[in-house]
Structure 1
Amino acid sequence: MTTEDMPTRPPRVERQRPPTTADETTTLEAWLDFYRDTLALKCEGLDEQQLRTASAPPSELTLLGLVQHMTEVERAWFRRTLAGEDVASVYPSTGGQHDEGFSLLDEVSAEQAMTAWREEIAVAKRNCASRALDSTAPFHGQEVSLRWIYTHMIAEYARHDGHADLLRERIDGDTGV
């Protein structure tokens, strides 16, 4: 088979490895972007049905549910907490409890969910752009710093990227990245 005969894949998400000798803000932002891009890579090239495929019974966890969840998490930390915005959830609860986006709705397509996620990331970046890492916001009767939020978000994405890796492997055998 020649290279002309090989099937072509759509362009992959450009994921940049974080710099090894940058200032703290650049390092935290770069690691957060790295993990955001990792989730995007785990979803890349899959169709609607594949993105809605649950891991294994009894779990209902899906890649699309992870994207929706991270949309809610971005919104909660960078808009509600950091910026003090009074914004509603993007994805309404489906079972009497707030499910933080994990539950899928038939009327929300994968494309719509990916767009909402990217929009929340863009707002998050704008809300962080003019703030120092030591700037704080009220949180449950205490103060939380932007540094803490970045660290928490890196951990949140890293944990869910592990879930995404397992989901993707179950769907089509793709591992790594």
Structure 2
Amino acid sequence: MATEDMPGGSTPVERQRPPMTADEATTLEAWLDFYRDTLALKCEGLDEQQLRTASAPPSELTLLGLVQHMTEVERSWFRRTLTGENVSSVYPTTGGQHSAGFTLLDEVSAEQAMTTWRDEIAVAKRNCANHVPDSTTTLHDQEVSLRWIYTHMIAEYARHDGHADLLRERIDGETGV
């Protein structure tokens, strides 16, 4: 597939396996990147309509909705929580804070959503570069470490990558990755 045909006009995703022996920060970052790349791979090669398809009825979940949701999750944990940045949501929330981003808007293209997601990941990486896993911040009057945030984000991506795998298989039969 040509680069310009991919959502966001990016280069093809090259997912790297995390190192088997590395320090804690490198290991956590590598596993998070692995799962981020997995979601990108699940979207790779699909057109706008396919990314917007709720392919596993009765669920309304879409691959594009997962990308938008993970944009909000990245934004929440690595900007609002880790650095205390006061940033608004990018996408509407319906049904509570855990549903942020799942609703698709006609005026937001897959290319725009993918770019916004990549931009949030870049900000998250910059913010994490200034902290070590033991760094703490406060969330709802409780201390939370960057280690906990990384672990939560790895679990969040792994869970949604499973959803993405099923959605992708229902769209065009593509499995694995």
TM over 0.5: yes
Q: Which residue of 2 aligns with 1:137?
A: 137
Q: Following TM superposition, by how much is the alpha carbon of 1:74 offset from its aligned partner in structure 2, in angstroms?
A: 0.1
Tell me which residue corresponds to 2:159.
159
1:46-85 correspondence runs (5 A): 46-85=46-85
Shift of 1:92: 2.1
Q: How many pairs are equivalent?
A: 168
Per-residue CA distance 1:16-75 (angstroms, 9 max, x = gap): 000000000000000000000000000001000000000322210000000000000000
Per-residue displacement from partner, 1:126-164 (whole Å, max 9, x unpaired)? Answer: 000010111111101101000000000000000000000
Once residues 108 and 85 of structure 1 are traced to their aligned partners in structure 2, the CA distance between those partners, rounded to angstroms, is: 24
Q: Which runs of 4+ in 1 moved over 4 A?
A: 95-98
Inter-partner Cα distance in structure 2 for 1:96 and 1:107 = 21
The aligned counterpart of 1:112 is 112
- The corresponding residue for 1:126 is 126
Alpha carbons of structure 1 residues 97 and 25: separation in structure 2 relative to 1, 3 Å: closer
User: Which structure's CA Rg is the greater one?
Assistant: 1
Cross-structure match for 1:4: none
Deviation string for 1:58-107 (max 9, x for gaps)? 210000000000000000000000000000001023x4755310010001
**1:32 alignment partner in structure 2:** 32
SS in 2 for 1:14: coil
Q: Distance in 2 between matches of 1:55 and 1:155?
A: 23
**Larger helix percent:** 2
Give the structure-2-normalised TM-score. 0.92
Tell me which amino acid in the other structure corresponds to 2:17. R
RMSD: 1.2
| Structure 2: segments with no counterpart, 5+ residues | 3-10
How many percent identity over aligned positions? Answer: 83
